[in-house]
Amino acid sequence: DSGVTQTPKHLITATGQRVTLRCSPRSGDLSVYWYQQSLDQGLQFLIQYYNGEERAKGNILERFSAQQFPDLHSELNLSSLELGDSALYFCASSSPAGGGKSYEQYFGPGTRLTVT
């Protein structure tokens, strides 16, 4: 158990819909990263937050957005869903507030999104 939690585990929805994926980082971790894993694109970085602020953006579509809340949990919002958005979405956390091995990124179990 990495200490990172993600909900829901599975999500099935229709094209055009909007969903929200939730992530709780490891206790004390300040950074949250979102990644997408699909068969054709592999594992891709989407976006990073550090202590509530956006730090870096990757190949994140304009239909996708994210935020990190004061309690450090994060949400990834996916809207106007398309079939190609079907993927496994991972959240990872790092940068413990007290120092330590801040380079390590620990992944949550992922949310498997199926768009039909």
Binding site for another protein (CB under 8 A): 2, 30-31, 33, 35, 42-45, 48, 50, 55-56, 58, 88, 90, 92, 94-95, 101-110, 112
Give me the least distance between CB of 13 and another protein, in Å please: 19
Q: What is the 3-state secondary structure (H, E, C) of 23-83?
A: EECCCCEEEEEEEEEECCCEEEEEEEEECCEEEEECCCCCCEEEEECCCCCEEEEECCCCH
> Could you tell me which residues come within 8 angstroms of residue 31 by beta carbon, excluding any fewer than 6 positions away?
25, 48, 49, 50, 51, 55, 93, 94, 95
Nearest CB to another protein, comparing residues 87 and 115: 87
Give me the least distance between CB of 16 and another protein, in Å please: 26
Give me the least distance between CB of 84 and another protein, in Å please: 19
Nearest CB to another protein, comparing residues 12 and 56: 56
Give me the least distance between CB of 28 and another protein, in Å please: 13
> How many whole angstroms from its chain centre is CA 105?
13
Nearest CB to another protein, comparing residues 2 and 18: 2
Nearest CB to another protein, comparing residues 40 and 71: 40
